[in-house]
């Protein structure tokens, strides 16, 4: 009994330590980006929008937590939704630690400390990675018009909708509704992420008209994010994402403006992740964070 308590205590400490290590790296990233962005070109109203977008991005992370919760249910683990949301938030910042796996390790440790089986937690993490890669790949047709003008925007929208709806239907009816629900949550989150990037881009290039290329630009961000995700060792895809965005959008938007938008977008996503972590940490201090439903 004492041994089990000590093990749970160690797992809690490890999971929490990984989260705090993520905070350190996030603060370092903020310091790095502050030297690269010309803050004087932005007005107070622009920074208010940045703050609002950061909060919105932080809240949107709950969709990823819901996706993970559905994957836990699929793997016969039945935690409370609140526990999944808070645990996801506490571990998510660790993705900025070099190695690109520490958020998964932290979540695994916190889940085991809560009494859930290690094998099921590990399987849910693998499912999460595989599924979000699929969710990102679904955006592929939307970005094609940016590199191959023969495909119209309307055709790319149609292909995207057909692929997304077909996959969701097939997975839901012939495999698992929980997997389908997780995929839907991830697709919505990636869509929100792309929209946030376009809004950040509009702050940097106010006169740039994105319609009807709005979905294509959103998809370019998602594909760039996906490239960063699947690149081994790149913490939160840093560096890789920027290169891919330059490839897709360099001919449409000036490289200097695009890089500034990417850096400002990084500030938004990092601040959003920090907000989600802080809210999760404060909520976890409460008395009603039971893990089992």
What is the reported pLDDT for 202? 86
Residue-wise pLDDT tens digits, 61-120: 999 999 999 999 999 988 889 988 988 888 877 676 655 566 777 787 777 877 888 898
More confident residue, 46 or 255: 46
Residue-wise pLDDT tens digits, 25-43: 444 554 555 555 666 677 8
* pTM for this entry: 0.82
What is the reported pLDDT for 34? 54
Please state, for a pLDDT cut of 90, what percent of the chain lies above it: 31
Domain ranges of the chain: 2-284
Residue-wise pLDDT tens digits, 224-234: 888 877 765 54
User: Whole-angstrom Cα distance, residue 279 to residue 183?
Assistant: 25
Q: Which residues, at least 6 apart from 57, have a Cβ–Cβ distance to it below 8 Å?
A: 192, 193, 196, 268, 269, 271, 272, 273
**CB of 153 within 8 A of CB of 212?**
yes
What is the average per-residue pLDDT within 258-280?
85
As a whole number, the mean pLDDT across the chain is 78
């Amino acid at each position: 009994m004492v041994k089990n308590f000590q093990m749970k205590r160690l797992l809690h400490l490890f999971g929490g330590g990984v989260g705090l290590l993520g905070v350190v790296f996030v603060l370092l990233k903020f310091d790095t980006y502050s030297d690269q962005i010309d803050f004087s070109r932005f007005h107070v109203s622009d920074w208010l929008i940045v703050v609002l977008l950061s909060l919105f991005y932080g809240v949107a992370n709950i969709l990823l937590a819901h996706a993970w919760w559905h994957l836990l249910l699929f793997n016969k683990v039945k935690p409370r939704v609140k526990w999944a949301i808070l645990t996801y938030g506490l571990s998510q910042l660790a993705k900025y630690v070099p190695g690109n796996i520490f958020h998964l390790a932290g979540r695994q440790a916190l889940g085991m400390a809560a009494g859930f089986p290690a094998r099921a937690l590990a399987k849910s993490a693998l499912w999460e990675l595989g599924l979000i890669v699929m969710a990102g790949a679904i955006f592929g047709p939307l970005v094609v018009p940016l590199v191959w003008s023969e495909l119209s925007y309307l055709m790319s929208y149609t292909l995207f909708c057909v692929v997304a709806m077909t996959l969701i239907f097939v997975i839901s009816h012939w495999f698992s509704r929980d997997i389908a629900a997780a995929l839907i949550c991830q697709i919505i989150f990636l869509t929100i992420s792309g929209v946030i990037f376009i809004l950040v881009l509009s702050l940097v290039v106010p006169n740039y008209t994105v319609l009807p290329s709005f979905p294509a630009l959103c998809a370019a961000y998602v594909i760039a994010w996906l490239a960063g995700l699947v690149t081994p060792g790149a913490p939160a895809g840093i560096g890789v994402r920027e290169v891919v965005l330059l490839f897709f959008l360099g001919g449409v938007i000036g490289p200097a403006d695009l890089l500034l938008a990417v850096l400002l977008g990084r500030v938004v996503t990092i601040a959003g992740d920090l907000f989600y972590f802080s809210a999760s940490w404060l909520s976890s201090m409460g008395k009603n964070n039971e893990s089992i439903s």
